[in-house]
Structure 1
Amino acid sequence: MIADKRWKGVYSFEDSPFLMEILTELRNKHTGAIEFRKGLVKLGRYMGYELTKTMDFEKVEIETPLEKTEGIIAKDRKNVVIVTVLRAAIPLMEGLIKVFEHARVGIVSASRGKAPKFEIEMNYIKIPEIKPEDTVIIADPMIATGSTLLKVIEEVKKYGTPKRLIVLGVLAAPEGISRIKGAYPEVEVFVTKIDRELNDHGYILPGLGDAGDRAFGAPIKTAKK
């Protein structure tokens, strides 16, 4: 896990060859929908493991069949709310919930309009009550312009003030991270990799295309030469 020096509370996993190999497969335009979904599940699960390293735990005394010893309980792991941004984040949530099996799950349906306005339409919002001891993880594979996530964060905050508010994704553009951190400095961001930039249509470069389309079998749009 690498802390990005450009912002406080922003981390990537570019130091993990395992995750970089999965990301390479996701980027490849020849990777089919099934393998793409499986890759997102793997990323969600592994990044969930890494998140537990940043959580509070308490030491406990237990008794083995042979003697007493000391162990730990990661209490924060049992106080998690995962907010899934439909539809691309469904496989990411599947991976995360394997680590945070006690998590309550919220669903937000949000779609981004075309450039240059990038207006956000939200058709469905179902978020559980958020408690002061909760860690909220908003799962969205692509942090591009940040427009969608700004609206989602705004909605999440209506349901309570958590201990931590985390955005977790696969790829991010610097522009999107800057917008999120500018509006909500307390939000932490964890992504597999931070890419170079956005193009004029608001897509991350080099990116991997539309994660929702690729995960659920829609045709892949490629750049014209």
Structure 2
Amino acid sequence: MKTVVVDHPLVRHKLGKLRDIATDPVHFRLLAGEIAVLLALEATRDLPTELVEVQTWAGPLQVERVRSEALTLVPILRAGLGFLPGVQSLLPAAPVSVIGLRRDETTHRPEGYYQRLADHMERRTALLIDPMLATGGSAAAAIQLLKGAGCTRIKCLFLVAAPEGLQALEAAHPDIEVYVAAIDERLDENAYIRPGLGDAGDRLFGTPVD
């Protein structure tokens, strides 16, 4: 499994602010979106383009254009929605597919409750978007769903990942790519990432933090 840590000074700076518990939901969303842009730039370096002719002030010119039908953005509900706008700012024409998963707090395993995917998934590169990779269960389940729909090229964007989650993802899906701002130390006994960010969904949307 290809794993890329986007080790950029701006990523480290913004991630440090996200870790600060005093960062309010408004700024948390803004910072997460800014990091999403930097991750997406790395993940999309090899996107296919096509030549089209445009009229410039000096006459016709062949230029490159990314084909929107070659992509789909796939946030995992709900936290992935808060991480989505930054990626959309780069790829506004890409259709958004949605996968709803929740974690059973007893078993720590994902449970699916909703999905809506773009058409022709077999032709698309899927950018799977979720702020946290903890146990890897939700991401692995989402990837399996995408593969079941015919998608063969999947790239995952995470703010923070636990080593255990990366290992689980590689064991289940060694053919995918992962782009992450940081790989943290470990999971705790409740399967939360340490030091992590806390509950990213609560911090993104301003709901009560347990």
The alignment's TM-score, normalised by the length of structure 2, stands at 0.90
Output one character per residue of 1:108-150: Cα deviation in whole Å (capped at 9) or x when no partner: 22111225x3122211111122433311011111000001111
The match for 1:181 is 170
Partner of 2:47: 55
Equivalent residue for 1:118, pick from 74, 95, 108:
108
Measure, in 2, the Cα distance between the counterparts of 1:78 and 1:91. 23
Match among 10, 25, 36 for residue 17 of structure 2:
25
Partner Cα distance (2:123, 2:137) in 1: 27
Q: Which residue of 1 aligns with 2:149?
A: 159
In structure 2, the residue corresponding to 1:105 is in which secondary structure? coil
CA contact (8 A) 2:97 2:118 kept: yes
Q: Does 1:11 align with 2:1?
A: no
1:81 equivalent in alignment to 2:72: yes
Which structure exhibits the higher relative contact order, with contacts defined as CA atoms closer than 8 Å and separated by 6 or more residues?
2
More moved, 46-55 vs 202-211: 46-55
- For residue 35 of structure 2, what is the aligned residue in structure 1? 43
SS at match of 2:209: coil
- In structure 2, the partner of 1:98 is 89
Contact 1:88–1:211 (CA under 8 A) maintained in structure 2: yes
CA deviation map 1:11-50 (0-9, x unaligned): 1112x11111111111100101111111111122222222
Q: How far apart in 1 are the matches of 2:53 and 2:170? A: 40
Runs of 4+ aligned residues of structure 1 deviating over 6 Å after TM superposition are none
- How far apart in 2 are the matches of 1:46 and 1:178? 24
Alpha-carbon distance in 2 for matches of 1:157, 1:68: 41
Q: Using the alignment, how far apart are the partners of 1:21 and 1:43 within structure 2?
A: 10
Partner of 2:200: 211
Please state if 1:142 is matched with 2:135: no
Give the CA deviation at 1:173: 0.7
Give the residue type in structure 1 aligned to 2:49. F
In structure 2, the partner of 1:3 is none
For these two proteins, the number of residue pairs brought into alignment is: 210
> For the residues of structure 1 that align with 2:22 and 2:80, how far apart are their CA atoms?
21
CA distance in structure 2 between the aligned counterparts of 1:70 and 1:214, rounded to whole angstroms: 45
Contact 1:141–1:171 (Cα < 8 Å) also in 2: yes
In 1: Cα distance, 2:31 partner to 2:182 partner: 14
Distance in 2, Cα, partners of 1:34 & 1:118: 29
Q: Any conservation in 2 of the 1:79–1:102 contact (CA below 8 Å)?
A: no
C-alpha root-mean-square deviation of aligned residues, in Å?
2.0
